[in-house]
Amino acid sequence: MQLPAIQYGDWKTVKKRMARVVTLLKRGADLVEVMTADGMLDTTTTQGMLVIAGIQVGPVPNFHCFAPWKPAFDSFAAAENSDAFATLEDAIFDASLRSSWGVLGLLSTENQFWLLPASRHRPLLHAALEVWSELDTVGARYYAAVQGERLWSVPNNLHYVMANLGVPTNVLRAPLPPEGPRALLKYMRPVN
């Protein structure tokens, strides 16, 4: 899987980079352009965890996959005129759905707030199902409180979206069927 090089490093370094990214995003820069400016890294040849929740400090480099969405949201939220960022947020959300790393970012529980509008649930679900096999082939390298888990085993926003679309929590907490998350679509409420 290819992830933006800008997400890779120790958290202290990545955090600084992301502050710059957020500044650019607030000025209306394109998410994909900003995030891929330093190139991409292949997870098969680059060591480290794919951190999707819980900040991982220390000098060991990891992919901090929840960034820049979380710092961006916090920054928008902290602004006096936070409502003024609604258009920007829509643009960032839509751009995120166009890449597997963008979908992964939105699947981080740290970024649940990007999914407050229910209208974003199905688009993320469909995008996640599209790239699921790519995300899952990374294997047990996802970090969310526990080191090295498969993506389904850690809390993620696919659970959140599916729960809000009617899939029972106990189903979401059970091991994933071999067919993957598509197998759970049968539990979803039909579209009105």
Which residues sit at the interface with another protein, rule CB under 8 A? Answer: 53-60, 73-74, 76-78, 82, 109-110, 112-113, 116, 144-148, 154-155, 159-160, 162-164, 169, 172-173
Question: Which CB contacts under 8 angstroms, 24+ apart, belong to 148-153?
Answer: 148/49, 151/52, 151/107, 152/176, 152/181
| Shortest distance (Å) from residue 167 CB to another protein | 8
**Residue with Cβ nearer another protein (56 or 100):** 56
Among 146, 144, 89, 105, CA closest to 3? 105
Burial of residue 108 (CB within 10 Å: 0-12, 13-18, 19+) is buried
Alpha-carbon dihedral angle through residues 180, 122, 97, 173, given to the nearest 10 degrees: -40
In whole angstroms, how far apart are CA 71 and each of 14, 26, 51, 66, 180? 11, 11, 15, 9, 31
**Residue with Cβ nearer another protein (40 or 163):** 163
| Shortest distance (Å) from residue 111 CB to another protein | 11
| Beta pairing partners, 128 | none
| Shortest distance (Å) from residue 177 CB to another protein | 16
| Shortest distance (Å) from residue 36 CB to another protein | 26
Q: What is the CA radius of gyration of the chain?
A: 16
| Amino acid of residue 80 | E
Burial of residue 147 (CB within 10 Å: 0-12, 13-18, 19+) is exposed
| Shortest distance (Å) from residue 37 CB to another protein | 26
| Shortest distance (Å) from residue 75 CB to another protein | 9
